[in-house]
Amino acid sequence: RGEERVPSPTSTIGAPVEQLDLATVVKISQAVSGEIVLQKLIDTVLRTAVEQAGAERGLLILPRGGESRVTAEATTCGETVVVQMCDEIATGTALP
């Protein structure tokens, strides 16, 4: 193994095309193209990501002022996904 790279805030996850979930990609693409209210777009994207991943919790983390900040949090509550907007520093204990 060579040197391991530390991911930067703007890095992307490299995955083969065969591993992409086409239904999720289409849903997210439709949400991005059809929504102009930022808060509703964040809600739709996080809700879709958590549902498609089968996750219990998901965070939207954005770089701001040289640090990573949690902008929104999605959690499952029974059969529904609840998305809450927030603004806090992304610490190791706050991450899923």
Q: If we measure between CA atoms, which residue out of 52, 47, 32 comes closest to residue 81?
A: 47
Range of the domain at 49: 21-89
Residue 10 covered by a domain: no
Residue 72 covered by a domain: yes
Mean pLDDT, rounded, of the chain: 79
Secondary structure (H, E, C), 2-35? CCCCCCCCCCCCCCCHHHCCHHHHHHHHHHHHHC
pLDDT in tens, 40-51: 888 988 998 898
Q: Which residues contact 86 (CB under 8 A, 6 or more apart)?
A: 70, 71, 72, 73
Q: Which residues contact 25 (CB under 8 A, 6 or more apart)?
A: none
Residue 33 covered by a domain: yes
Mean pLDDT in residue range 9-38 = 67
| pTM of this structure | 0.64
Count up the domains in the chain and report the number: 1
Residue 31 covered by a domain: yes
